[in-house]
Amino acid sequence: MTKAKPKIRGYVLPFLFLFLATGQLFAGEIGYVDSRACMLSHPVFQKFDWESRRFFSTISAPVKDFAKESIHLNKLEETATAALKGIEKKIGKAFSDKDGQNAGLWKSRAQLVNELEYIRQRREVLINLQDDENMLPDQALVWCTLEGVEKDLANVYTQIKQQHKVDILMDFAALAPTQHPPEPQMHILCDRRLEAFLDDEKSLNSEEFTAWLANSRHYWQRKLPGVCNNPFKYGAKDYTDVACAIIKSASDIKTADRGEEKIEK
């Protein structure tokens, strides 16, 4: 028994060394890429329908009961319309009383207007799906493939911008599909981390940051399953510039807008 203990220790120590070394290498890779190791367990994928390749709780989400969905939209519309009328009355009263503290009322009004616009667009989706007698969006429909996914992604980016959650930006950016994501250049990813760019505001305007962001996006696209790499028949816009803009805005950095230079695949 006394001789067995040194042998056990001899096996345990190399095992612990290999375990720690492997963990450090993995953590280093994820740290350099600066995104989530368990990306597929991210909450956004819990709202993703793999059969229809659409997001639940979005404008173009799949529908299984048109009547129930229509009733739900009617109730939402009634509630939002009534709330909007009440807010507008309060805004009018604030102006008549010369009360300058009505910024919160205007913010609430904007949210209600956006909700009513969502309901209107959602009804358009239901009409398209009912006309074709499809319970799920058809991939051959341009609206559900190109325009629909762009609106979904725009909503996701808006949420990130509002909540300033820069740490999950790359997870959502990887959802923007391209037909053939190029091989990422790992030396660009490993040179600097996202925190290094954020600490130096001027570096966010550099070509180095643009290259890092593009390669990080391509890295995750190659790790995702094929359904996320190119899930939509007609392709979609490249949202790399949008991701850059959100990082800058979240860091309160003002830069020139590239305007119409976005590339459409």
Q: Which two tokens stand for residue 31?
A: 């740290």
- Residue 224: left if φ>0, alpha if ψ -120 to 50, beta else—which one? beta
Does residue 63 sit in helix, strand or coil? coil
Q: What is the mean pLDDT of residues 73-99?
A: 81
- Domain locations along the chain: 35-47+166-265
Q: What is the pTM of this model?
A: 0.35
Q: Which two tokens stand for residue 121?
A: 């667009």
Q: Which two tokens stand for residue 136?
A: 């799920």
The alpha carbons of the chain give a radius of gyration, in whole angstroms, of 24
Residues 6+ apart with CB under 8 A from 189: 32, 33, 212, 215, 216, 219
Does residue 38 sit in helix, strand or coil? coil
Between CA 26 and CA 193 the distance in angstroms is: 15
Does residue 252 sit in helix, strand or coil? coil
Q: What is the pLDDT of residues 145-155, one digit of tens each?
A: 334 444 555 55
CB 211 within 8 A of CB 203: no
Other Cβ atoms less than 10 A from the Cβ of 258: the count is 10
Q: What is the pLDDT of residues 120-142, one digit of tens each?
A: 877 877 777 666 555 444 443 33
Which pLDDT belongs to residue 257?
36
Other Cβ atoms less than 10 A from the Cβ of 49: the count is 13
Q: What is the pLDDT of residues 43-79, one digit of tens each?
A: 444 555 555 555 565 666 666 777 888 888 889 899 9
Which pLDDT belongs to residue 96?
57
Q: Examine the pLDDT at 26 and tell me if it is beyond 50.
A: no
Between 204 and 43, name the one with better pLDDT: 204
